[in-house]
């Protein structure tokens, strides 16, 4: 990844779990730390060569891309200090969950390029998923530049409908936790059948990792792959019959995503 067109300057407002993962990946991919300023109240160091400040600079240089990475409820306070520093050319990417683009436009009226992003944690190893949304006010070249910035983080998906952000968050944002649970359950099921716990844990993790990589490379979808490896009357088919009975697994996951999505909607209403 040597030909990435990095922003001239990157200003991170907040650098905790999520923004910290994004920055770590960008630095791994060759972003010059001298182009980065991180604002965090604790002033805690972030990475070699990255300047950390605990208060806003007097100005942001031309060509700055801002990443909003603090908690969503802090947006009004942050905007009161940050918006006066943002000009027409400032590009703003927000990872604030549940904060619609129109609210962001209200907070940063001068900036034309405003993008809402929903990353997930594996962005730190370049295997994340980031949903993106913007409106017609964002110029095409800014949209392309932000796509290029997000690309080293893994899969980037532009959404046509901002109304689907809670659905996306339920699937890919919360998805890593659901998969961690699945891996753990696969291991514990092996243990229940009598395998040593440590061996079952290693085998479950490696099975999920290998199967996901294989599915990512295959021309068939994972549904077809499952059927292809299950011979009639064999062991795999017998196991699949349990997962497939009454769409048991599909219904379980639909219920799981629905619960997560509904919680996102309740939080957006202040619940």
Ligand X SMILES: NC(=O)c1ccc[n+]([C@@H]2O[C@H](COP(=O)([O-])OP(=O)(O)OC[C@H]3O[C@@H](n4cnc5c(N)ncnc54)[C@H](OP(=O)(O)O)[C@@H]3O)[C@@H](O)[C@H]2O)c1
**Residues interacting with ligand X, by CB under 6 A?**
13-19, 39-42, 44, 69-72, 74, 77-78, 95-97, 118-119, 121, 173
Contact 156, 130 (CB under 8 A): yes
Least Cβ distance, residue 131 to ligand X (angstroms): 10
Residue linked to tokens 């629905």: 258
Least Cβ distance, residue 12 to ligand X (angstroms): 8
CB closer to ligand X out of 104 and 200: 104
The tokens describing 58, both together, are 């007097």
CB closer to ligand X out of 145 and 153: 153
Contact 67, 132 (CB under 8 A): no
Q: How far is CA 23 from CA 92, 236, 257, in A?
A: 15, 42, 28
CB closer to ligand X out of 22 and 187: 22
Q: Shortest CA distance to 8 belongs to which of 60, 68, 85?
A: 60
CB closer to ligand X out of 95 and 204: 95
Contact residues for 71 (Cβ-Cβ < 8 A; gap 6+): 14, 96
Contact residues for 5 (Cβ-Cβ < 8 A; gap 6+): 145, 148
User: What is the C-alpha separation between 62 and 36, in angstroms, rounded?
Assistant: 13
Nearest residue relative to ligand X (C-beta)? 16
Least Cβ distance, residue 122 to ligand X (angstroms): 10
Least Cβ distance, residue 200 to ligand X (angstroms): 28
Interstrand relation of 91-94 and 154-158 (parallel, antiparallel or unpaired): unpaired
CB closer to ligand X out of 13 and 111: 13
Least Cβ distance, residue 149 to ligand X (angstroms): 16
């Amino acid at each position: 990844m040597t030909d990435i067109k990095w922003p001239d300057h990157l200003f991170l407002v907040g650098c905790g779990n999520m923004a910290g993962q994004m920055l770590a990946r960008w630095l791994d991919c060759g972003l010059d730390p001298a182009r980065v300023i991180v604002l965090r109240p604790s002033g805690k160091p972030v990475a070699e060569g990255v300047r950390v400040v605990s208060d806003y600079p007097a100005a942001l240089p031309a060509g700055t891309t801002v990443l909003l990475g603090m908690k969503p409820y802090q947006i009004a306070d942050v905007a009161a200090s940050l918006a006066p520093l943002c000009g027409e050319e400032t590009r703003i990417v927000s990872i604030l969950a549940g904060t619609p683009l129109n609210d962001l436009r209200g907070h940063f009226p001068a900036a034309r390029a405003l993008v809402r992003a929903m990353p997930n944690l594996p962005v730190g190893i370049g295997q994340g998923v980031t949903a993106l949304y913007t409106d017609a006010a964002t110029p095409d070249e800014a949209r392309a530049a932000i796509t290029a910035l997000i690309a080293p983080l893994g899969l980037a998906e532009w959404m046509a409908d901002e109304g689907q952000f809670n659905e996306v968050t339920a699937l890919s944002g919360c998805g890593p936790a659901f998969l961690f649970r699945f891996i753990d359950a696969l291991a514990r099921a092996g243990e229940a059948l009598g395998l040593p716990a440590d061996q079952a844990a290693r085998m479950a993790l490696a099975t999920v990792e290998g199967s996901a990589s294989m599915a990512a490379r295959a021309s068939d979808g994972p549904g077809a792959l499952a059927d292809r490896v299950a011979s009639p009357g064999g062991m795999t088919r017998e196991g699949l019959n349990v997962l497939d009975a009454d769409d048991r697994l599909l219904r379980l996951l639909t219920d799981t995503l629905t619960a997560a999505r509904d919680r996102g909607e309740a939080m957006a209403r202040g619940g």
